[in-house]
A and B are shown apart, each in its own frame.
Chain A
């Protein structure tokens, strides 16, 4: 997915006399297809992994029938089931908004994968405002959640949506601060530069004040992907399923897909910001990148199956009274160290 083939393709098109916008369009469609397929496969793997990890933690087996001893096709079978389910739109819903909501949630989670550096050259688009792009786009799904909650005309759904809005707005602030620390350290918003700044084993996680940023990033990431202890928007034992309580079949699957895609994204981005992205010995860069991302995914799953859930006011006060001040301190500390010219 490097720029090289793109230039060659454009050159070829220009030589053939066709307008370049056709080449651009083909290129974009191709990239979108690759990213979508990658996300689909990743989500299938993640769901299977979650079941296996939770099975291990809870001393049970997990999927062990479909497609062999370890049930690798279990999630594929589930996806098939969701595809074939009746599409139920309850009476009293705001139909247009109800139908749109899953896509509004799903598309931004797809978009952020544009700037994920799978290797030095495998990046769809190394924007010079990469981090800002991530922050801007990943703030968008919450609109979809509110749309889903509001249009469902269901009390549980609206409460879930309101919780989602409150929570994701609050946690974006410290999340942003954690990212700012990294940006200050790297001196650039471009993902490529951030990776470059960590080359040669100088990962940001190993540099002094950035550990603080990592902790903040990890906690807020849990909240951003709505996982225990911050899974209040869909708290099963309280709100049944929260904002997607009225959704079924494929529409529900899109929420599910978005959630797991986002889970993978925050892990991949964590690997990018703090663990040197694709850097590592012997294995190809892509392998290293996936290993790091999956390791973080497993830690997040581990947390999910260990901790109980917080209450909404505790979640909010945790963000505003603890994470935000600590985040500010982390930014200041990083800036000071940077000014001193250490590292």
Chain B
């Protein structure tokens, strides 16, 4: 054992809520011994808007745009979790065409979100150029969203019983074009970033989260799959038309930052596969089922569950038979990932804090609802 000759004190460092790398307004209370993180206490609540409470005072269709603001990087999956719950309450089912289109919208959202992850993760590790590349590749998806729903980020593209609108003319071609445009760009990232020696020493073996603990903490999505647990709601509890589509559930067994990064890189390719299949099989028909103008689901409760880009996104809706729900509750994956942060950060250095924080890809909009 080495003995300290000079007494040292630990230092408490507040990382955030204003800090370039906390991805929003997260505050990490780090207890440091020099550069080493002894303990970490995440402080949340800076972005609390009371969306769940607001839900109790709005009609069912009015709540939908609020869900966009939860995980603002993939609004469609939030929409779907909520819409699923309401549809279950009402016993409505979306038409076949709408179900395929929903999957396309969801997967495009997933790619956009993962591109944003790659961009910000690289930026956290000071690979600034990849940040701009990621945003550049995300841009055509935003254009597709704009073409379809009129909005780029908070799309509110879904409705109870289907979709707000059918896809416009030319959308299919543009989407196909994107499916061939992206893979070479992903290869470019692999050459520029994934294979980079510095990037690898910064991510490999860093921020270990063993599979058992990942499950215990309630992690889901790429964070869980990066720890080698093969769990994906799209496959294990298929919704919409996922059971008819072919795709792989990507996992890595390294449990580190690199693993979580690699999972997302592969998932983008899988998403492209899904989109192509949907475009091939896209049936004709209506995009919204017959739904009464005022939505008054019978009293009861229902739970919608979606595999969002961040993980297991759930929405629980309780109806008392009125035009407004009695309770809306969201189960957001990032919240659980923040809880697992102290476990991942302990013992690593300050430089690793940003790498680990970046690799779990939290969105504060859904941590603080």
Contacts and interface: CB of A to CB of B under 8 A. Distances in A.
B35 A308 contact: no
A235 B126 contact: yes
Given A235-B351, A237-B354, A313-B349, A58 B128 contact: yes
B129 interface: yes
A240 B21 CA distance: 9
A159 interface: yes
Given A236-B20, A238-B350, A240-B19, A314 B123 contact: no
A306 interface: yes
Contacts of B202: 308-311, 314
Contact of A240 (B20, B122, B193, B349): B20
A314 B127 CA distance: 17
A237 B13 contact: no
Interface in A301-322: 305-314
Given A57-B129, A58-B133, A237-B354, A308 B20 contact: no
A338 interface: no
Contacts of B124: 237
B66 interface: no
B336 interface: no
B247 to A, nearest CB: 30
A309 B126 contact: yes
Contact of B351 (A54, A60, A238, A307): A238
Contacts of B201: 310-311, 314
Contacts of A156: 13
Nearest to A155: B13
Contact of B126 (A60, A228, A312): A228
B349 to A, nearest CB: 6
B205 to A, nearest CB: 12
CB-CB nearest 4 A-B residue pairs: A309-B126, A311-B351, A308-B125, A308-B127
27 contacts: A54-B128, A54-B129, A59-B133, A59-B136, A60-B132, A155-B11, A155-B13, A156-B13, A159-B350, A228-B126, A236-B20, A236-B126, A237-B20, A238-B21, A238-B354, A240-B19, A240-B20, A307-B126, A307-B127, A308-B193, A310-B201, A311-B349, A311-B352, A312-B351, A313-B35, A314-B201, A314-B202
